[in-house]
Amino acid sequence: MNPSSSILVVGGAGYIGSHTVRQLVSSGKQVIVLDNLVYGHREAIVDESVLFVEGDLGDRACLDQLFSEHDIGAVMHFAAYAYVGESVTDPAKYYQNNLAAPLVLLDAMRAHGCNIFIFSSTCATYGNPEYMPLDENHPQNPINPYGASKLMLERVLADYSHAYGLQYAALRYFNASGCSDDGKIGEDHNPETHLIPLVLEAAAGVRPHITIFGTDYETPDGTCIRDYIHVDDLARAHILAIDKLAEGTPSFQCNLGTGIGHSVQELIDVAKTVTGVDFPVQIGERREGDPPELVAAPAKAKELLGWEAEHKDLEAVISTAWAWVNGPRKGHY
């Protein structure tokens, strides 16, 4: 890849995409964002040097035009749908957007000679854990269409790598969390289903309470344990991955997590400390499909990319999200 080539960031106006775009720009890269704005926010692209194109990753004509008009050296793909519950009730939406549409993108890349691809995969590809922490060799048996769509694309990438020489990195995120340190961009999903933003909305008085989904799990305090990885740490791993692939490192898959688990109850307690608000907490039923514990074994990312989480302290992670909720945009674009 020519160092002056542009990076095409598909889904760059979303939560993780927009944080990565900012880091790409600060590392001196030319960035083109393609986003259909179904869930993304135009305002999340804050750097004026970024070329923003509103369009869909499954639109071949739009892709052909982009690849013809620009020297695109690599593609980062963040444009997946990620509501696990919705993927169960409307799987067609997930297989269309998370599998069929990226096939169009990969075809366009091949036609235009672009062969570096960074894929946002997920710990949801592992399914119900057989052991903990989860390393990359853990069997992948997803338990919902969201996880299945991500795993299927991982398989496609492995086959394209073998047959067509595609160089890719499948980065399996654990629970993306937090917001940019300066509070300029942040997490804004509609609808919101993730624990940290919901907890902070309870603290801000926007929601009457937070409900804990189950307190009868086989964990020390009975609530589910997750590995909360800061979005800027995720973003940094993408830059390192693209540089590795550009150097000629063979394709790889790796976990992106801290290696540290926190329970829902623990997170709520930390959020009360960070916000200084003793917001109401209710106990609810288990949410279907939630494994009791998901924590990454992050050694492979360290070995391959020299990457490890810098934001390891949950209080500091939640503080960045709280700054966004209290910032000029009040947590919404």
Closest of 86, 111, 94 to residue 190, by C-alpha: 86
**Residue 74 in the binding site for ligand UFG (CB under 6 A):** no
**Residue 148 in the binding site for ligand UFG (CB under 6 A):** no
Question: What whole-number distance in Å separates Cα of residue 124 and Cα of residue 227?
Answer: 12
**Residue 211 in the binding site for ligand UFG (CB under 6 A):** yes
Q: Which position's Cβ is nearest ligand UFG? A: 224
DSSP state of 3: T
Q: How far is the CB of 29 from ligand UFG (least distance, A)?
A: 25
Question: What whole-number distance in Å separates Cα of residue 269 and Cα of residue 93?
Answer: 36
Residue 168 falls in the annotated catalytic set: no
- Segment contacting ligand UFG by CB under 6 A, of 19-27, 30-38, 121-129, 156-164: 121-129
Pick between residue 195 and residue 314 the one whose CB is nearest to ligand UFG. Answer: 195
Pick between residue 95 and residue 213 the one whose CB is nearest to ligand UFG. Answer: 213
Do the beta carbons of residue 180 and residue 274 sit within 8 Å? no
Tokens for 141? Answer: 């048996």
Closest of 191, 237, 167, 198 to residue 19, by C-alpha: 237
Pick between residue 116 and residue 296 the one whose CB is nearest to ligand UFG. Answer: 296
Q: How far is the CB of 6 from ligand UFG (least distance, A)?
A: 27
Question: What whole-number distance in Å separates Cα of residue 58 and Cα of residue 11?
Answer: 12
Pick between residue 103 and residue 281 the one whose CB is nearest to ligand UFG. Answer: 281
Q: Binding residue for ligand UFG (CB under 6 A) from 122, 251, 253, 319?
A: 122
**Residue 230 in the binding site for ligand UFG (CB under 6 A):** no
Q: How far is the CB of 176 from ligand UFG (least distance, A)?
A: 7
Pick between residue 67 and residue 227 the one whose CB is nearest to ligand UFG. Answer: 227
Instruction: From the candidates 15, 81, 126, 146, give the one annotated as an active-site residue.
Output: 146
Residue 315 region by backbone torsions, left for phi larger than 0, else alpha for psi between -120 and 50, else beta: alpha
**Residue 124 in the binding site for ligand UFG (CB under 6 A):** yes
Do the beta carbons of residue 80 and residue 15 sit within 8 Å? no
Question: What whole-number distance in Å separates Cα of residue 120 and Cα of residue 55?
Answer: 19
DSSP state of 15: H
266-305: which residues touch ligand UFG (CB under 6 A)? 287, 290, 294
DSSP state of 81: -
> Cis before residue 191, ω within 30 degrees of 0?
yes
**Residue 264 in the binding site for ligand UFG (CB under 6 A):** yes
**Residue 256 in the binding site for ligand UFG (CB under 6 A):** no
Question: What whole-number distance in Å separates Cα of residue 112 and Cα of residue 198?
Answer: 43
Encoded one letter per residue, x for contact with ligand UFG by CB under 6 A and - for no contact, window 20-39 reads --------------------
- Segment contacting ligand UFG by CB under 6 A, of 31-39, 97-105, 120-128, 180-188: 120-128
Closest of 68, 162, 56 to residue 109, by C-alpha: 68
**Residue 193 in the binding site for ligand UFG (CB under 6 A):** yes
Give backbone dihedrals phi and psi of 6, rounded to 5 degrees, phi first: -85, 155
**Residue 229 in the binding site for ligand UFG (CB under 6 A):** no
Question: What whole-number distance in Å separates Cα of residue 263 and Cα of residue 270?
Answer: 11
What is the set of active-site residues? 146
Q: Which spans of this chain sit near ligand UFG (rule: CB under 6 A)?
A: 82, 84, 122-124, 173, 175, 193-195, 198, 210-213, 224, 226, 264, 287, 290, 294
